[in-house]
Structure 1
Amino acid sequence: MSGNEFRFFLSYDINLPVTFRIERLEGSLPPVEFPDSGIDPAAEERRAELYVECVLCMDGAPFGLPMRTRLETNGSAYCWNELITLSTKYRDLGRYSQLALTVWDVSHGKNEGLIGGATIPLFNSKLQLKTGKQKLRLWLGKVADGSFPTTTPGKVPRHERGELERLEKLLNKYERGQIQRVDWLDWLTFKAMEKIKGLESSKTGSSHLYLVVDFCSFEHRVVFQESGANFVLPSPISSTNELVIVWDPEVGKINPSEHKQLKLARSLTRGIIDKDLKPSNNERKSIQRILKYPPTRYLSGDEKQLLWKFRFSLMTEKRALTKFLRCVEWSDVQEAKQALELMGKWETIDVSDALELLSPLFESEEVRAYAVSVLERADDEELQCYLLQLVQALRFERTDKSRLSQFLVQRSLNNIELASFLRWYVAVEFYDHGYTKRFYCTHELLEENMMKLQAGPDGEDGFKLWQSLVRQTELTAQLCSIMRDVRNVRGNTQKKIEKLRQLLSGLLSELTYFEEPIRSPLAPSLLITGIVPSESSIFKSALHPLRLTFRTQTGGTSKIIFKKGDDIRQDQLVVQMVSLMDRLLKLENLDLHLTPYKVLATGQDEGMLEFIPSRSLAQILSEHRSITSYLQKFHPDDRGPFGITATCLETFIKSCAGYSVITYILGIGDRHLDNLLLRDDGRMFHVDFGFILGRDPKPFPPPMKLCKEMVEAMGGAESQYYTRFKSYCCEAYNILRKSSNLILNLFHLMAGSNIPDIASDPEKGILKLQEKFRLDLDDEAAIHFFQDLINESVSALFPQMVETIHRWAQYWR
């Protein structure tokens, strides 16, 4: 956009209801007095129950009925995060429209305690609609005044604004896309802002109370225009030849004449004559090209018309069903009815395509029910590969007890692993207020049906099975309590380890031997009977994660890592993808010895990981100088290559190839020698997936995450073993490209999740993933492309490119 270009919408043209989100309160609540009831000695023990009353005022008078949020009682951080939609539309707003917001407390019975109120105008001094987050200072003890001018303005006076207010204003612009995003620089900036926020709060110690409101944003600015008035430019146009560009608000909307023509064409080709139509040679080529489109590709009007025209001849082509259903004009009752009839007669689609029909693109309940009927053909092992995404798909269902929800519950009743993971995946989503009811209904349905079971999958009755799953939650709560106590211990890591073992052996000795076995959250088929204090420890890091050794009922042990204070849902997703890709490769008889260790998020900032005995490459290189020397220690063979057994070297080469391809496809960043681990048998694997889909905190990341120490362990870039490595890479890449639709569909279902690198820009992230598959290439061209990619990465690791070496060496450090 040039400096002289100003694109905007007119408020009179926006035929949408006024929408905004009440987010949270910031600050400490004042004491509320009730003169009628006197002083209640238990008042301090009660939690305040707050709601926000929202009144739209036009020209100083209330307009329409007031709206109220739900009651919020969640401790000191009152967070509603609730979307409010008024009956008034933007086109009906006046120049002096204001929003009056009042916070009430109902925790003291019938007497409603007034906390305070604030008023905010919807248009600024430049006649532009306010968008993004607004921080309003409440007038304590006053009801929000909607008159004009108001006596309770929410805007903080200029002389009281500090550095924090200025940064929040910039953050608001950033979230609206008015400031360019630079991932690594943004991360540093946000970190600095947190420090400033902490300093400001400690300095001021302000008793003010603030309400944060998030107004709806549009593609362009919205400028006020009264009904029937002509828009006047704020400044007269000079008499020069300067070109003034005005944004046309109808750009991007459906062309009415084109839409009418399309409907007429559909009505003519909806009759009996369509059944005998056969595509010509050119039309057949066009249809085949469309069927090869990835699920993320939008279809043009001509492409939709082509598929509709030859729908009857395409019924034997199962790949065509999802594309055909995207062509249907679902608002047309007759067309929708015919489409559903054809769907029932179509060649049954694959499970991977059924996942596409559960995406937010398809709202028809019949279509989504058909997708579930296809999923019923999948066995439990395959279903578990997609369970995380199927739980996310519940967001897009139109009813709380949908066909998908009932299907997931019914399948879980016969498989304890499915039941356990379903319960955890659903429980973690409870914090998302927009879908709490939908997820809670599934949780309630699972509990209700399991309690009715006479005999479960392991012979236990339903009540005992459900209780064993509930005890998993109790166990994680106790582990969180232990972590808090351990973190409060002053001193080095050894003192914290001593405290941990002391707690497990003393105050919390019930954790050493459980009264009844508990199903392991990571592997529900495994029964654990207690923690071994002497074999439990703490990792030396900022969050002090626990490394716990559990006894199993069979007499063995199970080691897990428990983290608190870190969101591991992104790690959970990546490891699930590694496990899925490992399965896809093995189905093609290619075992690359991957290590898809188990990960389970048990909350927003807590979770468990399977502990795999291994050492980081950084540690190995500091102690053994090379990977080869380390492997010689465990698998020596004087006759083998580099003094290592051929089996061990082959395992190392295959695992390097597998993870090189997977980390490239998923765009995994922040790779360094501390998060590349090596097992004693030669298996190399990656951990810590804080950056995916192309994000990386360091500048100049290499295209492939392949460090020179790995290449040296294969004998260098000229060795036969390195050639074998490249061969495995290319073979794996082409196998995974065949399943690109499945992987893209799974990520599309995650678009509504709160996983950081997906939630920031779901559409952009999925397109980045699609780009990595290079679907425009055939298999042979893809091999050449991937070989060039490897060569480009490896050539920079050797002396002929000094500057690139320095750049990428800095990355690996």
Structure 2
Amino acid sequence: MSGNEFRFFLSCDINLPVTFRVERLEGNLPPPKTPSSETDSTADDRKGELYVECALYIDGAPFGLPTRTRLESTGPSYFWNELITLTSKYRDLTVQSQLALTVWDVSRGKDEELIGGATILLFNSKKQLKTGKHKLRLWRGKEADGMFPTSTPGKVPRHERGELERLEKLVNKYERGQIQRVDWLDRLTFKSMERIKERESSKNGSSHLYLIVDFCSFEHRVVFQESGANFLLPSPIASTNDIVIVWDPELGKINLSEHKQLKLARSLTRGIIDRDLKPSSNERKSIQRILKYPPTRTLSGDERQLLWKFRFSLMSEKRALTKFLRCVEWSDVQEAKQALELMGKWEMIDVCDALELLSPVFESEEVRAYAVSVLERADDDELQCYLLQLVQALRFERSDKSRLSHFLVQRALCNIELASFLRWYVAVELYDPAYAKRFYWTYEILEENMMKLSSGVNGDEDGFKLWQSLVRQTELTAQLCSITRDVRNVRGNTQKKIEKLRQLLSGLLSELTYFEEPIRSPLEPGVLITGIVPSESSIFKSALHPLRLTFRTANGGTCKIIFKKGDDLRQDQLVVQMVSLMDRLLKSENLDLHLTPYKVLATGQDEGMLEFIPSRSLAQILSEHRSITSYLQKFHPDDQGPFGITATCLETFIKSCAGYSVITYILGIGDRHLDNLLLRDDGRLFHVDFGFILGRDPKPFPPPMKLCKEMVEAMGGAESQYYTRFKSYCCEAYNILRKSSNLILNLFHLMAGSNIPDIASDPEKGILKLQEKFRLDLDDEASIHFFQDLINESVSALFPQMVETIHRWAQYWR
């Protein structure tokens, strides 16, 4: 059928009875009318027994016999969901045919109480038969009037319609298949609609009663036509199932017959038969498509059954295990037993897939224990990449003393860096009352096992001294918190606060200038720090007055750390961890984009440390040098090089711009301005301050990619070969990271229960937004075109440049 064709049926040729479904009653019933002889308590205890009387009126006169629904007393809300078939047929209807619906209450015995009524026309203003769900407002205490025009119209007045009315019409179209189905978007939409519905219900209160009626649908629209009219059309419609298609409102609900058949298909006796089954060519294609689904995708009933049917032939396919385990009905003891036996014989899965088995989707202790056994194969460097999420996965364990807890502690005993980070990650979560006991047990068992060690993880310290070194990290952060408060209380400019800071650090009673015993750096436990250099410590000009501290190290060098109090760094910690992981993934494919994954550690709910990287913000650079090119010429001049800069420096700048452009797009990092884009002397650009992630942005109309025009100008403009090279690096990096989308999605899924603001607000929505950024529906070539279009759209975005100008003015006057 071409896009311009309009196919329809004529009402005069439909030889079928008028059919519709009375679904439910919404709203609160009026108080019952009780005689004075009855007590109030009797009236309060009475429950309504309701039925709906349905009558057809043609041109204001009753036509045929009225029909009643069954009695319904399980309210509120009263839910009939009863199919009503009238004696009249569609061919008998006129354009002014109406359906009169009256709700009666018979809970008082012989005396029926009228609740209300409503009338609806069966044809709309375009003379098309109404289909789908309709919400009729009942006229309280009035019987439905079938006259034309009626005095009890069920249509809600325009001024009373809200957002919910519009959404219900869209749902109506969706259920009839007129709106394309997108799994992840549908889930988000229906979840938001539930919230809107609750809000509207609480706002409207009990002022109105609504009756929901569902009219059947046909394959094509039905247009009114009087019988015998001269009109050319196809042959009349007969009452056959091949032509008339009626939407089933119970579609998707549990079918008892199918459920029984499913149980029989998955019984133990089927195992002998299924063992030798091999999928056909089409079934193999369907299975391969399912295996490519992201971990957030919910499998349909047919897909679950397909994987179960060919479970034996899939055992050599390691990617199929997580999908197969999602097909298992774990409440069925026999089925769960079969699945666990197969899991033990399955091809060993990769570590990234094992992370999926630790998500809240899988509650079976055996499955989670299997995931831990796979993690045991990971080396310490890989395990440290996932340590933050593995600690969060403790929330989903069924017991405090889980195998995951034991595994994390045992690995920490062999590596001081893992021990230090595990201790901090767990300590921060102790503030969560819902899971404090579980995290405390892990903390306690780590302490107990470390103090039992006869020798340390590096062989030259005993366990007690090692643990004390980690405890002194907490004492150090407590002292820095106290100093920060004292510095903030100093009245005056930043210079006076800096003087106060240095005074506190170098005072006679200060223990911070020289530590009695070296302390392992919280940010880098392999480094021993011996004290703070007061003269090289300072304060940033900011509302929270972060401290910039220079620490002496045991090998005679120094390291610089930023300490913040009053800011939750757990979100920054997660983003930087993801940057570090993506840098690792890119380098494994021989693509080094010169990223700067500086270290971040949250030491409390509102405090933490960051590694200080010598750099300057683009706002400062543009203010003093007017362009990025002029700034880089200062440090890497080359008369023969492009734009007067060494080729190495320019290449570093282009690669780092490409890397962060892709990463910030995937993670949906918002609030990007020239003050949180920093540039190092060697040309490396990097981002800081990740207060908005997963698509959140305080600025209106943010560009899809955070790429400012100053960066493009430093590459020679949008027509230069260096800008073309930048786009090439972007597309290459995007395709590499898309290959690891399952790993990144699994890590974020494990963070679903965390207290990180932009995840805790709506974990499912955030993860689905992240999944959308990978565009897994595209192949590599199509994704390149998609990403190039994103870059072009971002560069040409004018509005963000206006916002950037306003932001610069605000920073200037601050």
Same fold by TM-score greater than 0.5: yes
User: In the alignment, which residue of structure 2 is the partner of 1:479?
Assistant: 480
User: In the alignment, which residue of structure 1 is the partner of 2:298?
Assistant: 298
Name the CA shift for 1:766/1:514 in 2 (closer, same or farther; >3 Å): same
Offset of residue 243 of structure 1: 5.8
User: In the alignment, which residue of structure 1 is the partner of 2:123?
Assistant: none
User: In the alignment, which residue of structure 1 is the partner of 2:397?
Assistant: 397
Q: Secondary structure at the match of 1:464?
A: helix
In the TM superposition, what are the counterparts of 1:268-667 in structure 2 within 5 Å? 270-459=270-459, 460-506=461-507, 508-667=509-668
Offset of residue 445 of structure 1: 0.8
Gaps of 5+ in 2: 1-22, 30-40, 43-73, 77-163, 168-193, 216-247, 810-814
Q: TM-score, normalization: structure 1? A: 0.70
Offset of residue 250 of structure 1: 9.2
Offset of residue 607 of structure 1: 0.2
Distance 1:253 1:810 in 2: 54
In the TM superposition, what are the counterparts of 1:764-779 in structure 2 within 5 Å? 764-779=765-780
- Are positions 1:695 and 2:696 aligned together? yes
In the TM superposition, what are the counterparts of 1:711-722 in structure 2 within 5 Å? 711-722=712-723
Q: Which amino acid aligns with 2:409?
A: V
Distance 1:625 1:795 in 2: 21
CA displacement 1:472-506 (0-9 Å, x = unmatched):
00000000000111111111111000000001111
Q: Secondary structure at the match of 2:386?
A: helix
Offset of residue 256 of structure 1: 3.8
Distance 1:654 1:356 in 2: 32
Q: Secondary structure at the match of 2:267?
A: helix
Name the CA shift for 1:7/1:612 in 2 (closer, same or farther; >3 Å): farther
Offset of residue 456 of structure 1: 1.4
Offset of residue 795 of structure 1: 2.7
Q: Which amino acid aligns with 2:445?
A: L
Report how many residues are paired. 595
Q: Secondary structure at the match of 1:550?
A: strand
Distance 1:679 1:9 in 2: 66
User: In the alignment, which residue of structure 1 is the partner of 2:82?
Assistant: none
In the TM superposition, what are the counterparts of 1:106-125 in structure 2 within 5 Å? none
Q: Which range moves more in the overlay, 561-570 or 258-267?
A: 258-267
CA displacement 1:328-379 (0-9 Å, x = unmatched):
1111111111110100000000000000000000000000000000000000
User: In the alignment, which residue of structure 2 is the partner of 1:746?
Assistant: 747
Distance 1:250 1:476 in 2: 60
Q: Which range moves more in the overlay, 649-658 or 502-511?
A: 502-511
C-alpha contact 1:670 1:697 (8 A) present in aligned 2: yes
C-alpha contact 2:27 2:206 (8 A) present in aligned 1: no
C-alpha contact 1:522 1:598 (8 A) present in aligned 2: yes
Q: Which amino acid aligns with 2:564?
A: K
Name the CA shift for 1:475/1:693 in 2 (closer, same or farther; >3 Å): same
Q: Which amino acid aligns with 1:389?
A: Q
CA displacement 1:411-448 (0-9 Å, x = unmatched):
01110000000000000000111111110010011011
Distance 1:437 1:706 in 2: 45
Offset of residue 455 of structure 1: 1.1
Offset of residue 450 of structure 1: 0.6
C-alpha contact 2:673 2:804 (8 A) present in aligned 1: no
CA displacement 1:744-779 (0-9 Å, x = unmatched):
000000000010000010000000000000000000
Distance 1:637 1:622 in 2: 23
C-alpha contact 1:655 1:685 (8 A) present in aligned 2: yes
Q: Which amino acid aligns with 2:614?
A: P
User: In the alignment, which residue of structure 2 is the partner of 1:165?
Assistant: none
Distance 1:605 1:530 in 2: 24
Offset of residue 260 of structure 1: 2.7
Q: Secondary structure at the match of 1:386?
A: helix
Distance 1:564 1:345 in 2: 51
CA displacement 1:727-760 (0-9 Å, x = unmatched):
0000000000000000000000000001000001
Name the CA shift for 1:540/1:737 in 2 (closer, same or farther; >3 Å): same
Q: Secondary structure at the match of 1:317?
A: coil
Offset of residue 793 of structure 1: 1.3
Distance 2:531 2:584 in 1: 32
C-alpha contact 2:727 2:788 (8 A) present in aligned 1: yes
Name the CA shift for 1:7/1:711 in 2 (closer, same or farther; >3 Å): farther
CA displacement 1:300-345 (0-9 Å, x = unmatched):
1110000000000000000000000000111111111111010000
Offset of residue 509 of structure 1: 2.1
Distance 2:538 2:343 in 1: 57
Q: Secondary structure at the match of 2:497?
A: helix
Offset of residue 617 of structure 1: 0.1
C-alpha contact 1:8 1:249 (8 A) present in aligned 2: no
Q: Which amino acid aligns with 1:321?
A: L
- Are positions 1:727 and 2:722 aligned together? no
Distance 2:333 2:402 in 1: 22
Distance 2:663 2:326 in 1: 31
CA displacement 1:674-707 (0-9 Å, x = unmatched):
0000000000000000000000001010111000
C-alpha contact 2:28 2:206 (8 A) present in aligned 1: no
Q: Secondary structure at the match of 2:550?
A: strand
Q: Secondary structure at the match of 1:752?
A: coil
Q: Secondary structure at the match of 1:609?
A: strand
In the TM superposition, what are the counterparts of 1:227-242 in structure 2 within 5 Å? none
Offset of residue 507 of structure 1: 5.2
C-alpha contact 1:9 1:221 (8 A) present in aligned 2: no
Offset of residue 257 of structure 1: 4.0
C-alpha contact 2:637 2:646 (8 A) present in aligned 1: yes
Name the CA shift for 1:571/1:508 in 2 (closer, same or farther; >3 Å): farther
C-alpha contact 1:701 1:811 (8 A) present in aligned 2: no
User: In the alignment, which residue of structure 1 is the partner of 2:133?
Assistant: none
Name the CA shift for 1:92/1:494 in 2 (closer, same or farther; >3 Å): farther
Q: Identity over the aligned pairs, expressed in percent?
A: 87
Q: Which amino acid aligns with 1:616?
A: S
- Are positions 1:785 and 2:786 aligned together? yes
Q: Which amino acid aligns with 2:624?
A: E
Name the CA shift for 1:236/1:697 in 2 (closer, same or farther; >3 Å): closer
Offset of residue 270 of structure 1: 3.0
Q: TM-score, normalization: structure 2? A: 0.70
Offset of residue 261 of structure 1: 2.9
Q: Which amino acid aligns with 1:658?
A: G
Q: Secondary structure at the match of 2:610?
A: strand
Q: Secondary structure at the match of 1:541?
A: coil
Distance 2:376 2:414 in 1: 13
Distance 2:783 2:514 in 1: 55
Offset of residue 258 of structure 1: 3.5
Q: Secondary structure at the match of 1:607?
A: strand
Bigger radius of gyration: 2
Offset of residue 244 of structure 1: 5.8
C-alpha contact 2:25 2:212 (8 A) present in aligned 1: no
Gaps of 5+ in 1: 11-57, 60-90, 94-176, 181-216, 225-232, 798-802
Alpha-carbon RMSD: 3.0
C-alpha contact 2:589 2:736 (8 A) present in aligned 1: yes
Distance 1:264 1:8 in 2: 43
Distance 2:207 2:474 in 1: 64
CA displacement 1:603-640 (0-9 Å, x = unmatched):
00000000000000000000000000000000000000
Name the CA shift for 1:223/1:581 in 2 (closer, same or farther; >3 Å): closer
C-alpha contact 1:701 1:808 (8 A) present in aligned 2: no
Distance 1:434 1:273 in 2: 47
Distance 1:6 1:794 in 2: 54
C-alpha contact 2:699 2:803 (8 A) present in aligned 1: no
